Structure formats: C-alpha cells, structure tokens
Amino acid sequence: MTKPSSERRRHPRYETELEVRYYFIYEVKTLVQFQIKDQQSGQVLSRKYSGLSKNVSAEGLCFTSGKQLEKGNLLHLEVYVPGSKEPVHMEGEVAWSKATSLEEQEENKSVTGVKILTVQRKPVRDSIFFDETHQLYWSGVLESVFGGFREVAPQFRSV
C-alpha cells in the first residue's frame, strides 16, 4: 500500500523575491460587505501592508509579511517587478497563513499562500496552459512576473 502524499500543489513553484503590497478587499466584517472607493480613480481605499514574495506558480503566490492573515481573506495585491514602472495588479484568496518560525514569530512575521484569481483584471484560470515542448505549466501570473514564455521557459526549474 502506498502512503498518501501530503503534497497538494497543482503546479510547480518558482523562487522569487519581489516587493508585494496588499490590502483587504473587504476589511470590515459586517452583515453588509462594502468597499470604500476613491471617487476619481475607482480604486479601493484600504490600509496597505507590505511583504516579500518567496515563490510563485501558475496560479499562486507565497509571501512573507508582518501580518498573519486568515484563510479566505480576499486581497488586492500589487506586485513590483524589476524593470517595470507600474506594479502588476492581482486579486486572490488566502489559502493559508502561518507564523514562519519561533525566531521570526518574535518579529511578528508570517508566511501566506494566496490563490491568484485575476491578474490585471483577467481571470487566471483562463490563462493556464501546459507546454508540451518544455513540459511546463504557464499562466498570466507567471507571464506578469517573469515575462514572455518563449524567452524564459528554457531556463525554468521549479522549487
């Protein structure tokens, strides 16, 4: 009999170290969910938090920050990619969040995994594909972080 694997990842992870800023889409829990938006830009106004990405996959992002989040929290993320003038806007749902280690707990750090739902307002699920030649999954998430698939696929190794 084979032992069941605890691995639940659907796609390989690729190491990253990018600045991530995020805020809650719904920060206040009430009977009515609402958002406070800027009248001119339409952007949701909420306190922003910052973090540093650890890895990214075809439909997920893992980052460390000073705030432990709750599973199910909806987030708007701004991912700052080197060489880009504007951040990549993503929306996602917290899949898990936990303290990183005893030493880092003292610094109030946590690590969080987010299932990315949209990138630049486009659904991620519609962008995922498997490239037979390179034997690798790709998506709008990876494209927005790493650039063009054809240029970077040959050098990819997952973690």
Domains of the chain: 14-155 (2.40.10.220)
Residue 5 CA: distances (Å) to CA of 9, 45, 46, 69, 95: 11, 42, 39, 26, 19
Residue 9 CA: distances (Å) to CA of 2, 56, 159: 19, 12, 12
What is the pLDDT at residue 99?
Answer: 86
State pLDDT tens for residues 43-69.
655 688 999 999 999 999 999 999 889
Counting every residue written for the chain, the total comes to 159
Element (H, E) at 102: helix 102-106
The whole-angstrom separation of Cα 134 and Cα 136 is 5
The whole-angstrom separation of Cα 14 and Cα 52 is 14
Mean residue pLDDT of the chain comes to 82
Higher pLDDT, 135 or 49: 49
* 16: Cα separation from own chain's centroid: 11
What is the pLDDT at residue 38?
Answer: 59
pLDDT at 3 over 90: no
Higher pLDDT, 131 or 40: 131
Tokens standing for 3? Answer: 């032992």
Please calculate the CA angle 66-46-65 and round it to the nearest 5 degrees: 15
What is the pLDDT at residue 94?
Answer: 97
State pLDDT tens for residues 90-100.
999 999 999 87
Higher pLDDT, 158 or 74: 74
Nearest in space to 68 (alpha carbons), one of 104, 94, 92, 99: 99
What is the pLDDT at residue 42?
Answer: 62
In this structure, what is the dihedral angle of CA atoms 99, 158, 79, 85, given to the nearest 10 degrees? 150
- Facing residues of 37 across strands? 44
